[in-house]
Amino acid sequence: MGNRTFRAGVMVASAAILMAAWVPSISSGATAPAKAYTWGINAELSGPVSYYGTQIQTGLKAFVKAANANVGKKGHKTNLVALDNQASGSQAATNQTQLITSNHAIGTFGNVLSSDCQAATGITARYKVPMACLSVNTPNPWVYDLGDNNGTSTSADLAAAAKVSGLSNPKIAVLVINTLTDITMASDLSIAAAAAGDSVVSNQQLSLSATDFTVPVANIVAAKPDVIVMSALGTQLVTIQQQLASSGVTVPILFVDGSTNMPQVVSLPSTVTNVYPMFGATPLIQPNSTDKYVKAYIKALKGVGVVPSLVSLNGSVANVYLSAYAFSLAQAKCGSQCTGPKMQSLLDQTKFSLGALVSNYSFTPTNHDPFSKWYVYHLTAGQHFTLVGTYVARQ
């Protein structure tokens, strides 16, 4: 090969390298300013709990779009990168790695299942990037609770069980799905009930993919409880409530996952009067609220095409909105592209109240569950909610 040919080859190669370097910078520049933050969504966007994952995606999109509209031209905008963990722990870990190392996410949100959160925890701790999970079973300095923590419901469950049953020491049937968080909750509830003089007459688990509820329902019928404490998918609530009713069991059902299963809760037949949805993060958010923070929240959701209703405003959408608010507060103090221990330290000092949306939302270095209360409602006539009581959330 002659010198001229060699030089021509080098020039072509150099041009190709420059082109390669230039093209991504143009394409990323079109969607993201140079100093934009990146937040990751690592959630169950497909599979049996995809409803909750997509709710997280919607709430985060709403917050980010509203926030980006307010930062002006010189401010730091936020990009969102969403990856589906397919309700698989290994995929959750892979996604977490990709979001942090490839997409340079400085915070991530999602993980409906505590097992998926746990699988991603090692990765996020290794890279020192804070992660908000909907279900957290094992506390970690880098993991923040995004939603209702069923593990803090124990004392509220017992107090509400006494109130709705009208008995000081009711017989309780416990029915939970077989996630790490719920298994822990059921275990804690049994211990606390025994200490309080209550009796747990049935303690059962359900699979997420269960197709037949005959045996758990039969066990509850045979145990003759005064009240049922249930944490399950909304679809399972509908089926089990109906099956129990047709077996003559209409004792109160405290539904610990009330806020995150609003579509099924509000679609129960209007004749159903024994369901008590519990809200462990925000109180019930009404579409006609006049509170300025609720109005801002509704406006943000409308910005991404959400039509305000009891279903669309409550649950994981609201929870992740608050989580994003907390992260953005810490981010604003921390500075551009800040993450790691400094971001963690600022997050751990986060404390705010947003009117009727949430009160006393706070993280501390030893407590990453930001919510302090459980709200128990009585559902009647389809969509009518009456507050039964407000109870302190305890670990």
Measured from the CB atom, is 46 or 349 closer to other proteins? Answer: 46
Binding range to other proteins, per CB under 8 A, among 33-41, 193-201, 231-239, 361-369? 231-239
Tokens of 221: 């019928």
The SS3 of residue 332 is: helix
**215: number of Cβ within 10 Å:** 10
Tokens of 260: 């995150």
CA nearest to 227, candidates 191, 199, 251, 200? 251
Residue 305 is a binding residue for other proteins (CB under 8 A): no
Measured from the CB atom, is 48 or 75 closer to other proteins? Answer: 48
Among 11, 12, 218, 387, binds other proteins (CB under 8 A): 218
What gap in Å lies between CA 224 and CA 199, rounded to an integer?
Answer: 12
3-state DSSP helix/strand/coil % of the chain, to nearest 5: 45, 20, 35
Among 216, 225, 258, 277, binds other proteins (CB under 8 A): 216
Contact of 354 with 263, CB cutoff 8 Å: no
Q: Which of residues 88-127 bind other proteins (CB under 8 A)?
A: none
Binding range to other proteins, per CB under 8 A, among 90-98, 123-131, 263-271, 280-288? 263-271
Residue 306 is a binding residue for other proteins (CB under 8 A): no
Among 263, 277, 283, 308, binds other proteins (CB under 8 A): 263
* Site pattern 236..255 for other proteins (x: CB under 8 A): --xx--xx-xxxx-------
CA nearest to 372, candidates 284, 293, 280, 294? 280
Among 205, 362, 380, 383, binds other proteins (CB under 8 A): 205
In the beta sheet, which residues pair with residue 278? 376
Residue 151 is a binding residue for other proteins (CB under 8 A): no
Mention every residue, 6+ apart, whose C-beta is less than 8 A from residue 324: 39, 59, 60, 63, 64, 67, 109
Binding range to other proteins, per CB under 8 A, among 27-35, 115-123, 261-269, 289-297? 261-269
Residues that bind other proteins (CB under 8 A): 47-51, 54, 178, 204-207, 209-219, 221-222, 233-235, 238-239, 242-243, 245-248, 263-264, 267-269
